[in-house]
Amino acid sequence: MNELPTLPAPHVCEQARLSRDARFDGLFFTAVSSTGIYCRPVCPAPTPKRENVRYYANAAAAEAAGFRPCLRCRPELAPGNEQWQRGDHVVARALKLIEAGALAEQSLDDLALRVGIGARQLRRLFVERIGAPPVSVHTTRRLLFAKQLLTETALPVTEVALASGFRSLRRFNAAFAQANRIAPRELRRHPRAAAGAALVLRLGYRPPYAFDALLAFLRTRALPGVEQVDEHSYARVFGPANAPGWLRLSAWPGGEHALQLQLHCPQPTQLLGVVTTLRRMFDLDANPQAIADTFRRDAVLGPLLARHPGLRLPGGWDGFEIAVRAILGQQISVAAARTLATRIVQRWGEPLPAAPLPGLERSFPTPAALAQADLREIGLTTTRAATISGMAQALLDGRVDFRAEQSLDAFVARWVALPGIGEWTAHYIAMRALSDPDAFPAADLILRREAAPDAAPLSTKALTGRADAWRPWRAYAVIHLWRGASEAPSPARRKKPEATA
């Protein structure tokens, strides 16, 4: 059972607070006893006296101790700390489920059952490790999102309540006032967005962040009709074809450590889920310092890290969409796999009534659609077509899924049991659909070449052993090695195997 991360050492917190070090944003929060307020380490307010400062590992713990969020630095903008969700510890698994919305529809007993312990024991573990019980973690997350919507948008308060998971406006008003010592409407006295304007939200990250490199990865794999990626932004449609939403993500103007999300979401209840998915997809909660500490002294990864210190793990919007792309990418080039995926979208994707943005006109096919489709129509071999249809049916049957709480080993074991899916494909899906930081497709030929640049390619077994030193960040090693290979192409590397689907 993996250990959960702890609060940084007091002297580290103190130095980061005094220097307003953005690398520690979201890794801890500073609470001031004389004001009853908690802040991010980057807060621009005058520095409080040391004897009045307390440090908390997360916002929920600070609020459980009676502190309210700062209106200046706005703790809701801090990136999350994905290390709390890493590994197989029951608390980490429960945190993944809470982020996925488990407590929005289920009880604490149901959550405890999903992670295999009793509700009382889960509550005790949360208080010991997190500093707040599960329900408080869930409530703090919802209220901070509501605070961001109230501050940055002109959404009606009723819709803000729905977007943050409250079905009762009265309960929302009471919970918000208790946590913030201010009524929701008080934040609306000087709204930052005019009524009727596009919904624009700020999504923060810890620097360094190589947004250009992430866009480049997604651009070569973008599906025409469903998504568009250029040098500056990512855009896509989502939701049902009869009521689609759309989004565009780009760098926040002025060089701030944030991305700018422009969003049209027909249902307010979808907002938090969309933002959560984008934070995972664009790896906004990663801690680049922890990754760099593992790679910096490695003979292969060290130089790559120095060239691209902010590389992140490119996730995917939808697990089924990534699984289809992974199967299509087996043993063919990225361009060829994209061509086949585009044919699938054009043949079985549902057209939208009207394009919300130029070039965005179809939704990706559902598992039900591809389970019954004859995929040989678009040029797939009989075997490959059967693999995709069989995978789609397995999802419908519940034999495989993308549940947040499952371990990497359990996920891989279930997926490789499907015909036509090997370990490379299963690990690739885990890396992109689950954003598992330790997924590692060791059979990948490019990885085996790049891990031994001055010798013959490593065997799969040898590379697996070599990669033990890169745990628990092996998926980031994959991205660095693929990036390195793309920057120094050789005739042999132009023949792309399944490694970069």
Q: Is 31 exposed, middle or buried (0-12, 13-18, 19+ CB in 10 A)?
A: buried
C-alpha–C-alpha distance, residues 39 and 45, integer Å? 9
User: Position of tokens 């990136």?
Assistant: 79
**b/e map of 200-219 (b: 16 or more CB within 10 Å)?**
ebbbbbbebbbbebbbebbe
Nearest-angstrom CA–CA distance, 38 and 116: 34
In this structure, the number of other CB atoms found within 10 A of the CB of residue 379 comes to 12
Question: Helix, strand, or coil here: 258?
Answer: strand
**SS3 of residue 95 by DSSP:** helix
Q: Which residue has the tokens 């990865």?
A: 217
Give the three-state DSSP class for 322.
helix
Question: What token pair was written down for 333?
Answer: 């080039």
The structure tokens listed for 83 are: 């290390």
CA 378/CA 489 separation, integer angstroms:
31
By the 8 A CB rule, do 112 and 90 touch? no
- Which residue out of 39, 43, 70, 265 is catalytically annotated? 39
CB atoms within 10 A of CB 242: 10
Measure the CA–CA gap between 40 and 17, rounded to whole angstroms.
8
Tell me if 23 sits within 8 A of 289, measured CB to CB: yes
CA distances from 404 to 240, 277, 317, 372, 479 (A): 23, 12, 14, 27, 22
Tell me if residue 39 is catalytic.
yes
DSSP 65: T
Write the DSSP symbol of residue 351: B
Active site residue 43: no
**Contact (CB, 8 A) for 263 and 249:** no
C-alpha 328/C-alpha 339 separation (Å) is 10
d(CA 220, CA 76): 33
By annotation, the residues acting in catalysis are: 39, 444
